A = this chain, B = another copy of it.
Amino acid sequence: MSSVPGWANVDERRNLPPALAVSTVILGIRRDPEGGPGKLCLPLVRRIRQPHAGLWALPGGPVGSRESLGQAAGRTLAETTGLHPKYLEQLYTFGDISRSPTHRLVTIAYFALVNIDEVGTRVPDENVAWFGVDDPQIAEMAFDHRKIVDYALWRLANKTEYGQIAHRLLGERFTLAQLRLVYEAILGKELDPANFRRQLKNTASIEATDEYLAGGKHRPPRLYRYLGHGPDPMEVDTSK
């Protein structure tokens, strides 16, 4: 059996620490030109080396010894995809013994949201590509990454306060229709515009601005912005 170089004699009977890596599920919403519900999609990188060469995998890499886990996630993400998401949250740590065929690998998975304007933008090279989450091409992925993606989608759908994360998928200012499309993409169903508006007014987590979105063909919608108020205390600070 082959031991992993760099990890002196990884004999499974000796208690050597496993390799530690981060991987990130970065979700964005691809707008539907016909104004439909919009699709959740994410960027993936094609594996060059074994194991699982040729399969698509989540962007990520090893954790450096002088960076925190969140920093490692942000760094590897930028290196492989060029993206700098505004939202980064730890998702789950995967450490089953057989998740990599060659060595013991523990992966801290992160969950990121990318602004809707950055979705599907040019990618560094042909080994990076955006996929819809239900694209049959990624029904199978490298390692257990398909399981990681499915869990990220489950977590997103089960978030109690979508308000905290919805504005990370939009820009600083947004219209209520745009915000409703985000909710619809996450929940997978259509919402009544009037009732949606009323509910947001009651929660008061949103504030109307004096500006309006110009350039449309019809009545210009008012722009709103979020009032931040403390969500998950373990959310990663990406503002540094």
Which A residues have a C-beta under 8 Å from some C-beta of B? 1-7, 10, 12-20, 47, 49-51, 61-69, 90, 92-93, 95-97, 102-104, 106, 108, 150-151, 154, 158, 160, 233-234
Contact = CB atoms under 8 A, between A and B. Distances in A.
A58 B44 CA distance: 38
Dominant SS among interface residues on chain A: loop
A225 B2 CA distance: 51
6 contacts: A12-B64, A13-B65, A14-B65, A18-B65, A68-B97, A154-B233
A216 to B, nearest CB: 37
Nearest to A100: B6
Given A4-B7, A6-B10, A92-B234, A17 B15 contact: no
B6 A2 contact: yes
Contacts of A69: 93, 95-96, 106
A26 B29 CA distance: 39
A104 B65 contact: yes
A10 to B, nearest CB: 5
B15 A151 contact: no
Nearest to A96: B68
Nearest to A4: B6
Nearest to A13: B65
A68 B95 contact: yes
B6 A50 contact: yes
Nearest to A16: B65
Question: 3 closest Cβ contacts across the A-B interface?
Answer: A15-B65, A2-B5, A69-B95
A16 B8 CA distance: 10
Contacts of A51: 6
Contact of A5 (B50, B90, B151): B50
B15 A18 contact: no
Given A7-B4, A49-B5, A158-B160, A19 B17 contact: yes
B64 A102 contact: no
